[in-house]
Amino acid sequence: MNALLYHPKGHPDKLVYGDAPAPVPADDEVLIRVHAVSLNAADYRSMKMGMIPKRRIFGADIAGRIESVGKNVSLFKPGDAVLVDLSNHGFGGLAEYAAAPENALALKPESVSFEDAAATPLAAMTALQAVRDQAGVQPGQRVLIAGSAGGVGTFAVQLAKYFGADVTGVCSPGNVAQTRSLGADHVIDYTREDFTKSAQRYDVILAVNGNYPLLACKKRLTPTGTYVMVGGALPQIFKALLFGRLLSFGSKKIKALSAKANPQDLAFVAHLLETGAIKPVITQRYPLEQAAEAMRYLMQGHAAGKVVVQVANTSHSEG
Ligand SMILES: NC(=O)c1ccc[n+]([C@@H]2O[C@H](COP(=O)([O-])OP(=O)(O)OC[C@H]3O[C@@H](n4cnc5c(N)ncnc54)[C@H](OP(=O)(O)O)[C@@H]3O)[C@@H](O)[C@H]2O)c1
C-alpha cells in the first residue's frame, strides 16, 4: 500500500512517500481502508522526540471504512464507516490501510463527511476534556481561550459555547473573524492587546497555544477560577507542569491536561458533529503523496484549524 513513511535519512524532513506492507489486524482489531487523515501536533512532536511508531507511519486521526475484522471483533463489521484516534495505538494513519482496536472506534454518522470525521477525534476530545472535565465550564462563566485558532482552539471555542460560556478567543489578526464565526463573544488580537495585562478576569483560562506567563494568567482568574494548560510553547507547558500544584494552594486552580482518547468521548464528539453543535475548520487539504508538505505546514505553528490529508478518492463523494 502507499504510505508516508518515517526514514531517518529522508530529505528534507525524514518523511518519505512510498510503499509499505498493509497491516494485518490482530484478533481484537479491524482493518480500515483510510479515506482521510488529519494531522496533529502529536505527530511532529513525537517525531522530534524520537518516538517513532513501530510501523514508521504517523497519523493518528483517521476516518474510513472497515475492510475486515479480527476474529474477536463483535461491535463492528466490514463496510462500517468509522473514525478513530490512533495516538495511543501506534499511529499508522498516513496510509491506505490502518489497523485499529475495536474498543477505540466510533461509528461515523452518515451525514458527516470522511474529512470532517478525520479532522475531529484528537483535537475535539482534547478540547472536550479541557473544557468539560478539567475546567468544568458552567453556563454563564467567562472563559478565555489563549490560542483559539488552531486545531484544538477551534473546537474549544465551540465546546465552551456549547456548555453555555461567555467566550473570549485570543488569536492573530488574520484569525479574528474565524474565531468570531465559531461563536466567540469577544476576540482579542494578541498583536494589539495582551490579555494578561488587562483588568478583565476570567473563570477559566485555557492555555492552548503561545507562551503566556503563568503567574500573569493566574492574576487574571476570578478568585475561584481555573487555569488549564493544554499546550503551547515548551516553557508554557513545563512551567504549568512544574509549578501548577504549588500555585494551586488557595482557591484558584492551575491544572495541566493530559488528554486520553476513549470511545465514550469519541462517540460524544461524533454525536455533536452529527447535530451540528461542532464543526471542524479545515484550513488545508493535501493528497497522501504530499503529506510531508502538510506536516511542514502544520509545524510552522499557524495553521488556522485542521490540516487534512485525503487518502481515498471517495472522501468527497461518500457521506
Ligand atoms: N495536553 C494534551 O493532552 C494535548 C493534546 C493535544 C494537543 N496538545 C497541545 O495543544 C497545542 C495545540 O494543538 P493544536 O493541534 O491545536 O495546534 P495547532 O493546530 O498547530 O495550533 C496552531 C495555532 O496556534 C496559534 N498560535 C500560535 N502562536 C500563538 C500565540 N502566541 N497566541 C495564540 N495563538 C497562537 C495559531 O494561531 P495564530 O496564527 O492566530 O497565532 C494557530 O492557529 C499544542 O501545543 C499541542 O501539542 C496537548
Tally of domains within the chain: 2
Considering only CA atoms, which of 265, 279, 254 is closest in space to residue 113? 279
Q: 166 pLDDT exceeds 80?
A: yes
Q: Which of the four pLDDT bands, split at 50, 70 and 90, describes residue 245? A: confident
Is 97 inside any structural domain? Answer: yes
97 and 153 in a common domain: no
Is 137 inside any structural domain? Answer: yes
Q: In this predicted structure, which of 107-121, 205-219, 230-244, 263-277 has the lowest mean pLDDT?
A: 230-244
Is 269 inside any structural domain? Answer: no
98 and 183 in a common domain: no
What percent of the chain lies above the pLDDT cut of 70? 98
Which domain-ending residue is among 256, 271, 298?
A: 256
The model carries a pTM of 0.96
Question: Measured in angstroms, how far is the CA atom of residue 211 from the centroid of ligand 1?
Answer: 10
Considering only CA atoms, which of 159, 135, 141 is closest in space to residue 253? 135
129 and 116 in a common domain: no
302 and 192 in a common domain: no
Give DSSP secondary structure letters for 66-95: EEEE-TT--S--TT-EEEEE-TTTT---SB
Non-local (6+) Cβ contacts of 276 within 8 A are none
Give me the domain span that covers residue 82: 2-120+280-315
Is 61 inside any structural domain? Answer: yes
CA contacts within 13 A on the Cβ side of 268: 15
**Whole-angstrom distance, CA of residue 275 vs CA of residue 93:** 26
- 34: which strand partners? 64
238: domain CATH number? Answer: 3.40.50.720
Question: Measured in angstroms, how far is the CA atom of residue 171 from the centroid of ligand 1?
Answer: 10
Mean pLDDT computed over 284-300: 96
Is 164 inside any structural domain? Answer: yes
15 and 103 in a common domain: yes
Question: Measured in angstroms, how far is the CA atom of residue 180 from the centroid of ligand 1?
Answer: 17
**Whole-angstrom distance, CA of residue 90 vs CA of residue 58:** 8
**Whole-angstrom distance, CA of residue 15 vs CA of residue 293:** 9
303: domain CATH number? Answer: 3.90.180.10
Which domain-ending residue is among 256, 271, 294?
A: 256
Angle at 97 between CA 94 and CA 98, to 5 degrees: 75
228 and 129 in a common domain: yes
For 121, other C-beta atoms within 10 Å of its C-beta total 27
pLDDT reported for residue 18 = 95
184 and 112 in a common domain: no
pLDDT reported for residue 20 = 97
Torsion of CA 275, 158, 150, 88, to 10 degrees: -60
**Whole-angstrom distance, CA of residue 55 vs CA of residue 41:** 19
Site residues for ligand 1, CB cut-off 6 Å? 40-41, 45, 123, 126, 146-147, 149-153, 170-172, 175, 190, 208-210, 230-232, 257-259, 298, 301-304
Q: 258 pLDDT exceeds 80?
A: yes
| N-terminal to C-terminal alpha carbon distance within the chain | 24
141 and 28 in a common domain: no
69 and 12 in a common domain: yes
Is 104 inside any structural domain? Answer: yes
Tell me if 129 sits within 8 A of 260, measured CB to CB.
yes
**Whole-angstrom distance, CA of residue 184 vs CA of residue 47:** 33
Q: What is the pLDDT of residues 188-240, one digit of tens each?
A: 999 999 999 999 999 999 999 999 999 999 999 999 999 999 999 999 899 99
Q: 243 pLDDT exceeds 90?
A: no
Non-local (6+) Cβ contacts of 216 within 8 A are 196, 197
* Nearest-atom index, ligand 1, CA of 258: 3
Number of H helices, E strands in the chain: 9, 15
**Whole-angstrom distance, CA of residue 70 vs CA of residue 225:** 47
Is 244 inside any structural domain? Answer: yes
For 191, other C-beta atoms within 10 Å of its C-beta total 10
Tell me if 67 sits within 8 A of 82, measured CB to CB.
no
Q: What is the pLDDT of residues 54-91, one digit of tens each?
A: 999 999 999 999 999 999 999 999 999 999 999 999 99
Before 213, cis peptide (omega within 30)?
Answer: no
Question: Measured in angstroms, how far is the CA atom of residue 292 from the centroid of ligand 1?
Answer: 19
176 and 53 in a common domain: no
Is 246 inside any structural domain? Answer: yes
pLDDT reported for residue 313 = 67
Mean pLDDT computed over 273-294: 97
- What is the residue-averaged pLDDT of the chain? 95
252 and 136 in a common domain: yes
Non-local (6+) Cβ contacts of 233 within 8 A are 210, 211
Residue nearest to atom 31 of ligand 1 (CA): 210
- Bridge-based pairing of strands 97-101 and 29-38 is antiparallel
**Whole-angstrom distance, CA of residue 219 vs CA of residue 5:** 46
> What is the best residue among 152, 194, 284 to mutate for testing ligand 1's pocket, by most ligand atoms within 8 Å of CB?
152
290 and 172 in a common domain: no
Check residues 246 and 260 and name the one with the higher pLDDT.
Answer: 260
Q: 316 pLDDT exceeds 50?
A: no
Q: What is the pLDDT of residues 2-53, one digit of tens each?
A: 999 999 888 778 999 999 999 999 999 999 999 999 999 999 999 999 999 9
